[in-house]
Structure 1
Amino acid sequence: MFGPMNTPVGSWKDKRIWLIGASSGIGAALAKQALAMGAKVALSARRLDALEEVAGEASNALIVPFDVLDHAAWRTRHAEICAAFGGVDLLLFCAADYRPERSWEVSDDVAEQTLKTNLVSVYSALSSVLPTMLAEGSGGIALVASVAGYMGLPNASVYGPGKAALINLAEILYSDLHAKGLSVYLINPGFVKTGLTAKNDFAMPGLQTPDAAAEKIWKGIAEGKFEIHFPYRFTRILKLIQMLPYRWRFALFQRFLHPT
């Protein structure tokens, strides 16, 4: 009851990782650190040039660019990675789209695109990698959600619901897959300094660098944690706010939006 919820990772050397969203931000930092730890890393995103820059001269990097919205490409790329690496030990899904917007600013076509990128494409990933992992009785799925999925936060009218769904999905996956020998990791970062958060025009408490975020993620996975959330001081406050009655929670949000 008190041990790790997933199998701890003693060494990353020669672990076969497929990292989705590896061209920038947290994904790029995760890729560089995994390569430095000796893992075999397949780097995926749309921009080939950015992936090449992240991979550098690393001989343990495999560049497999594609669009996560291309369902057929998932199976093709998975087959290429399995041919090169012999399989995938960990799929880490870090691709995301984001724009700060209040509910009256939402465009239906942009919302659809965001949800397809942040949520629907995860199902393409699962349908590609799970059959092999289940057949082998080993492997791991890591989903990068967000503390924006904890509750209905202002300015996250599309991003927040998509991340809330990822949190729910990770919980379902753990219930389904743990007994079959697979590990599932739910990653809920707070604010991280990336091109996405650069769009925000409000104060971001506990803002961290991508490198610091990546270190916490790899440490959490190595320790076999299910939920990896950070920075702790900020995320713990949000978890406490989750427990408040709605009346009090909404009053706090209004004070945040309209400080006196």
Structure 2
Amino acid sequence: MTTVTRSGRGLFAPLNTPIRNWQGRRVWIVGASTGIGEALALDLAARGARLALSARGVERLQAVRAACMARGVAASDCVVEALDLARDADFARAQAAVLARWGGVDLVVFNAGTYRPLRAWELSAEAVRETVELNLVGTLCGVGELVPVLLRQGSGAIALVGSVAGYGGLPKATVYGPTKAALINLAETLYLDLSPRGVDVFLIDPGFVATPLTAANDFHMPALQTPVQAAQAIVDGLARGDFEIHFPKRFTRVLKALQWLPRRFYFRLVRRATGL
């Protein structure tokens, strides 16, 4: 396996190659039908990217595709590939279709996921399996299919959408939080393996974003953002070449700082902030 030498990366240089020019860039968004994925697709469409849109709901994806085309993307440069990450071999099938059309891919965003607010006494085998299979197992399997492609190219990037829920325990994130913590760990591991070989890895950790999933929350969500704001923060982070793109900073920096506190203070502050 050929190792690509990265030059010009000093101590304070970007960890990834900054992505600033989107014109003609081949971007595959897995989880593009609603929320952050939809907003990111629309943002990148306006910047001239070529888009492959994937999710389980084909009808909703077609609506997103139409909205992207309204922003100037040619019909041939905005395609829909239905995909259920929780199904074995579904990612490989969709990837083959994307590669057959483009011959390669420049950025794959793993945004697909599910969330069910659960307290410890509400756990069920069905809820655990549904969340873990989609959020973690499906993403891991998809990454396993994608990495050999990017290594053969000697270029490209993977972006994993984690969450601040992966930083530390939060009420009602009994299953969701552990899957996102695992994705944070996965992104760090992938970076160590792939960056020296010419493949960039981005970790996207949003705070609370108003999506159909977070609409199920019945507690106060500090610093709640819109999907459009989230998409802008992601594009800005990609342009800087950040490894971790976390937002909004006024919220995520507080959560990061809380991890340094003794647990008794952490638990007290989290309960006070959420009211749970």
Alignment match, 2:37: 27
Alignment match, 2:230: 213
What secondary structure sits across from 1:185 in the alignment? strand
What secondary structure sits across from 1:153 in the alignment? coil
Alignment match, 1:235: 252
Q: TM-score, normalised by structure 1?
A: 0.96
Give the counterpart letter for 1:143 in structure 2.
L
Alignment of 1:237-256 (within 5 A): 237-256=254-273
Residues 1:174 and 2:191 are matched in the alignment: yes
Report the alpha carbon displacement of residue 254 of structure 1 after superposing the two structures with TM.
3.7
Q: Is the 8 A contact 2:27 2:106 kept in 1?
A: yes
Residues 1:153 and 2:170 are matched in the alignment: yes
Figure out how many residues of one structure are paired with residues of the other and give that number.
259
Distance in 2 (CA, whole Å) between partners of 1:170 and 1:71 is 22
Distance in 2 (CA, whole Å) between partners of 1:213 and 1:159 is 19
In the alignment, structure 2 segments of 5+ residues that lack a partner are 1-10
Residues 1:88 and 2:98 are matched in the alignment: no
Counterparts in 2 of 1:254 and 1:31: CA distance versus 1, 3 Å: closer
Distance in 2 (CA, whole Å) between partners of 1:251 and 1:25 is 31
The match for 2:52 among 42, 53, 57 is 42
What is the Cα-based RMSD across aligned positions, in Å? 1.2
Report the alpha carbon displacement of residue 97 of structure 1 after superposing the two structures with TM.
0.5
The match for 1:52 among 39, 53, 62 is 62
Report the alpha carbon displacement of residue 257 of structure 1 after superposing the two structures with TM.
5.6
Q: Is the 8 A contact 2:219 2:275 kept in 1?
A: no
Out of 83-92 and 156-165, give the one that drifted further: 83-92
Alignment match, 1:12: 22
The match for 2:86 among 66, 69, 77 is 69
The match for 1:143 among 154, 160, 165 is 160
Give the counterpart letter for 2:167 in structure 1.
Y
Residues 1:114 and 2:131 are matched in the alignment: yes
Give the counterpart letter for 2:215 in structure 1.
A
Out of 204-213 and 249-258, give the one that drifted further: 249-258
Give the counterpart letter for 1:240 in structure 2.
A
Give the counterpart letter for 1:105 in structure 2.
E
Report the alpha carbon displacement of residue 169 of structure 1 after superposing the two structures with TM.
0.5
Distance in 2 (CA, whole Å) between partners of 1:258 and 1:78 is 43
Report the alpha carbon displacement of residue 33 of structure 1 after superposing the two structures with TM.
1.1
Counterparts in 2 of 1:11 and 1:245: CA distance versus 1, 3 Å: same
The match for 2:213 among 188, 192, 196 is 196
Give the counterpart letter for 1:32 in structure 2.
L
What secondary structure sits across from 1:186 in the alignment? strand
Give the counterpart letter for 1:169 in structure 2.
L
Q: Is the 8 A contact 2:157 2:201 kept in 1?
A: yes
Give the counterpart letter for 1:10 in structure 2.
R
Distance in 2 (CA, whole Å) between partners of 1:217 and 1:84 is 26
Give the counterpart letter for 2:250 in structure 1.
R
Alignment match, 1:2: 12
Give the counterpart letter for 2:56 in structure 1.
R
Give the counterpart letter for 2:30 in structure 1.
I
Q: Is the 8 A contact 2:116 2:127 kept in 1?
A: no
Report the alpha carbon displacement of residue 69 of structure 1 after superposing the two structures with TM.
1.3
Distance in 2 (CA, whole Å) between partners of 1:189 and 1:156 is 14
Q: Is the 8 A contact 2:18 2:238 kept in 1?
A: yes
Q: Is the 8 A contact 1:19 1:41 kept in 2?
A: yes
Distance in 2 (CA, whole Å) between partners of 1:257 and 1:209 is 19
User: CA-to-partner distance for each residue in 1:113-133, whole Å, 9 max, x for gaps?
Assistant: 111110101122112211111
